[in-house]
A and B are shown apart, each in its own frame.
Chain A
Amino acid sequence: MSRTILRTEQLKAFYVLDLFGTQKVIKAVNGVDLDIGENEVYGIAGESGCGKSTLLKALVGAIEPPLRLIGGRVLYQMVGEEVDISSLDPEEKRRLRWEYVSYVPQGSMSVLNPVLKLKETFRDFIESHVSGKTGKEAFEIAREHIVRLGLPPQILNAYPHQLSGGMRQRVTIALAALLKPPLMIADEPTTALDVVVQRGVVQLLKDIQRTLENTIVLVTHDMGVQANIADRIGIMYAGKIVEEAPTGQIFGEPLHPYTCYLIDSLPHFGDKATRTSVPGSPPSLSNPPDGCPFHPRCPQALDLCTEQMPDLKYVDHSHKVACWLVGD
């Protein structure tokens, strides 16, 4: 594998809520170890409420109450040394974001300022991160960037509401790639878009990754999108990564029962055979079941599963699974 760019060690981020004197703890990210390399697309998949978005928040250091960092570290590889994001002061964090790591949030509709033309938005970003640029120079940078990504330059003179949803999403991605960050994080960038537009957005992400040779962390529950773009996929369930492998292996030989369900439930063309979805409903993160959180829904659960959480261990050099059924 290539050099590591982002690493987490037993990352734990919980929402701590005070409800009428009783404390409620939502264990959204519960001991996650990630190791993401340079020049790869790392996909994170899982159902809603499994902690995907919270994990991303913790990765970029956007931890604000009620979310609290309980334990573990997020380490960025920057100019030869490892930097713990929680040790940075606000100004350093501000510099880190957008220049080193950029974030494409969920729901592009509400990201862009509705009362500013897009060129103003672009200028804002450029002026706050690149020093010594006049308005005109900033506009020129934005124009070049937009053209390079194959979007029509006229959109810079438009307001967000004048663009279609897909175009708005692509503009948001263009903004995230503006300063050529080595790491881009995208949270459900194609949800709520229809298939043709979705394909256009994925195409743009792929193009950017290929030209900048940077790393993209892509969160989406759509396994079809993951199959098309990701190099490696981590499957998240109830705040934990339960399986991690290169894309081919995840789809070809999934090992965790949850991953098997996720992949078997996808409908295929030319095959009308009945497909079943994962039985039961997602676990509550405030009161997760003991042992492996999947055991109440797992058809092959053992007694051991109800007592102890299995570790995420390697089954071969690139494939990791957390399940008692796998391995020895």
Chain B
Amino acid sequence: MEELLQVDRLTKIFSLGSMISRIRITAADNVSFSIRPAEIFALAGESGCGKTTTARMILGFEEPTSGTILYRGQKIARNEKVWFTRGIQAIFQDPFGTFNPLRTVDRYFFETLRNYKLAGSTKEAVGLIDQKLRAVGLAYDEFSGKYPGEFSGGQLQRISIARALLTNPTLLIADEPVSMVDASLRMSIVNLFKQLKEELGVSVLYITHDLATAYYVSDRIAIMFRGHMVEMGSVEKVLMDPKHPYTRLLRESIPEADPTRCWRGTVRLTDIEQEEYLKQGCRFAGRCPMVMDICKQQVPADLNVDGVLVRCHLYTSQVDSR
């Protein structure tokens, strides 16, 4: 099957500090994954794990330090931005921050159509906009001429999805699309992604820290930790039978909405985040309950355990002995 988007050994290093005391933070370290047509791929992890940096590099907001991004097997050149952004559209975290509060929302739609030269006349444009709004459960009449402040967060997020759909994209990059939306309306956005995948064949890169919705909606998932991808595979395998100790910790920490199944045991948190970025070897070694000597010295290699890609020394011997 042809891969829609292929990300290969993507690395981004940020330099912080002054000329004298310069530190280098590796926000994304050799991140590789691919997205197939009509697939929801979740990228999950805690804040500061490099999820957003990865998304920004795919969207071209950030220049990767090394590594390649292939869209439909082609490298994205600077002068082909239009062709590329027509196929890949973004949805951002804060729906209130996405729209200028002093502009009516329909102007964004007309602007997108004009920029991509998608409609010949106003009538045609209105027809297209109405069609896309219907796909997200809104109507043109209740939308035109209104300012962002007149909508609720959930509605605005649907509007920004409808805007992204205008170019008939094949891939949506959704960066924490539900974290600012109310819990009661969250499922409507997540269900919308499912519906878009099934009806229009749109792929979604779903970036989130909410593993419960990631499990609910996605086909495959990658777990990131401090710039490294630690586990990747089908969502059933990764979340129902986590292999990497970090994935296990994440999985246990999700608050179950069931008072009979409360958290047991205590967790250790990092005090200062920077230390974890600057660590040698496995970044999780400082907090891992099963830490070994080798973890502190060497970054584990990609291992294929039961169809799931895992980066952990615990499985090195298992794979070798086979």
Contacts and interface: CB of A to CB of B under 8 A. Distances in A.
Nearest to B249: A196
Contacts of B183: 47, 221-223, 262, 265-266
A275 interface: yes
B257 A278 contact: no
A197 to B, nearest CB: 6
Q: What size tier do the contact residues of chain A reach?
A: 35 or more
A53 B209 CA distance: 25
Contacts of A194: 45-47, 209
Most buried by A among B188, B255, B270: B255
Interface in A197-222: 197-200, 202-203, 221-222
Nearest to A275: B187
Contact of B153 (A48, A155, A166, A251): A48
Interface string A45-57: 0011100000000
A212 to B, nearest CB: 19
A162 B272 CA distance: 7
Interface string B257-281: 1111011001101111100000000
Contacts of B267: 196, 199-200, 203
Interface string B76-115: 0000000000000000000000000000000000000000
B199 to A, nearest CB: 14
A272 B215 CA distance: 8
B250 interface: yes
Given A196-B267, A265-B187, A251 B182 contact: no
B240 A277 contact: no
Nearest to B287: A196
Interface in A156-211: 162-167, 192-200, 202-203
B297 to A, nearest CB: 25
Contacts, number: 141
Interface in B210-256: 210-213, 215-216, 239-240, 249-251, 253-256
B271 A167 contact: yes
Contacts of B263: 199, 202-203, 228
Interface in A83-120: none
Nearest to B188: A277
Contacts of A71: none
A60 interface: no
Interface in A261-286: 261-263, 265-270, 272, 274-278, 281-282
B152 interface: yes
Nearest to A246: B259
A167 B152 contact: no
A49 B179 CA distance: 16
Nearest to B189: A277
Contacts of A274: 191, 194
Contacts of B272: 162-164
Contacts of A224: 212, 254-257
A281 B155 contact: yes
Interface of A: 47-49, 152, 154-155, 162-167, 192-200, 202-203, 221-228, 247-248, 251, 261-263, 265-270, 272, 274-278, 281-282
Interface of B: 45-48, 152-155, 179, 182-188, 190-191, 194, 209-213, 215-216, 239-240, 249-251, 253-260, 262-263, 266-267, 269-273
